[in-house]
Amino acid sequence: AKRSGRNCIYTFDPSIQQALVQKLELEKDLRHALNEAQFELYLQPQVNSGGCLIGAEALIRWNHPQKGMISPADFIPLAEKSGLIVGIGDWVQEEACRLLAGWKTHPTLAKATLSINVSEQQLRHRDFVAKTLNSLNVCGIEPAQLKLEITESAVMLNLDECADKLCQLKQHGLEFSMDDFGTGYSSLSNIRALPLDQLKIDQSFVRNLLEDKSNQTLTQTIITMSEALGLEIIAEGVETEDQKLALEEMGCHLFQGYYFGKPLAYTDFMAYVETAGA
């Protein structure tokens, strides 16, 4: 054990040590996960007021050979810390384009969008623009069908650089959604510096929408703001019909959440589309 300061001895508590070892093991496994094809994109439907499918969000899952399905909340932070997120993010983009290629002649999905999550390091990579365009080109995908979800925290540290990259992609027709909107610390002028198409209301606002008056006020403000800025608005984490109706009343007409469908493995998503769509 090491000494830090006067009375502090760390890496002594066995439970802390155990947690650390587990984390390191997971990180070691994560290094092989890409090569071993252990990742999978789950798709969650996005619908309009009439319940028609307009697109989906791709959410990554890690199929660990021993531990089973691991949620992104448990490995994305690790991937970000270790830099592995860049390779994983590239795979997500390529896989999303492969899925989109399979939709080209589909009656319901030919015009649907597929949203993917882009992390800060990915965005900061100098080849981000080229890699994104290349993924689209390889599969012959209409750029407007791939929507990039970015968070406020991912762009605000390097706002000018990010705005420049997004503008380059925008010129090719890609669209952008500001994810988890309302939870960050960005100012309105920061938001306006980015070529956004959509704001995504964070699920924390939706969760207590009916009970919490101040949440209602905030949500209404976000929706009104999106209208003023000419941005599309979508709510995530919609779990009940009452939440959907309340959001509609406030002027939000695009939804994503368990009420409409959970994230599904690709074949399950396609089956869902057959029964719910058209």
Of 4 and 86, the one with the shorter C-beta distance to ligand C2E is 86
Interface with Ca ion, residue 179, by CB under 5 A: yes
Of 135 and 198, the one with the shorter C-beta distance to Ca ion is 198
Q: Does an H or E element contain 16, and which?
A: helix 14-33
* Minimum distance, C-beta of residue 207 to Ca ion, in the bound complex (Å): 11
Interface with Ca ion, residue 175, by CB under 5 A: no
On whether the CB atoms of residues 200 and 207 are closer than 8 A, the answer is: no
Q: Which of 29, 90, 95, 149 binds Ca ion (CB under 5 A)?
A: 149
* Minimum distance, C-beta of residue 153 to ligand C2E, in the bound complex (Å): 11
The residues with which 254 forms a beta bridge, in sequence order, are 48
Dmax over Cα atoms in the chain, in whole Å?
69
Q: Which of 117, 132, 135, 198 binds Ca ion (CB under 5 A)?
A: 117
For the record, the structure tokens of 235 come out as: 């709510």
Amino acid (one-letter) located at 203: Q
Of 11 and 71, the one with the shorter C-beta distance to ligand C2E is 71
**For residue 151, how many C-alpha atoms fall within 13 Å in the half-sphere facing its CB?**
13
Distance of CA 245 to the CA centre of its chain: 24
For the record, the structure tokens of 172 come out as: 């090719």
Residues of this chain that bind ligand C2E (CB under 6 A): 44, 59-60, 71-73, 76, 89, 92, 117, 119, 179-180, 203, 236-239, 257-258, 263
Interface with Ca ion, residue 180, by CB under 5 A: yes
* Minimum distance, C-beta of residue 60 to ligand C2E, in the bound complex (Å): 4
Distance of CA 142 to the CA centre of its chain: 20
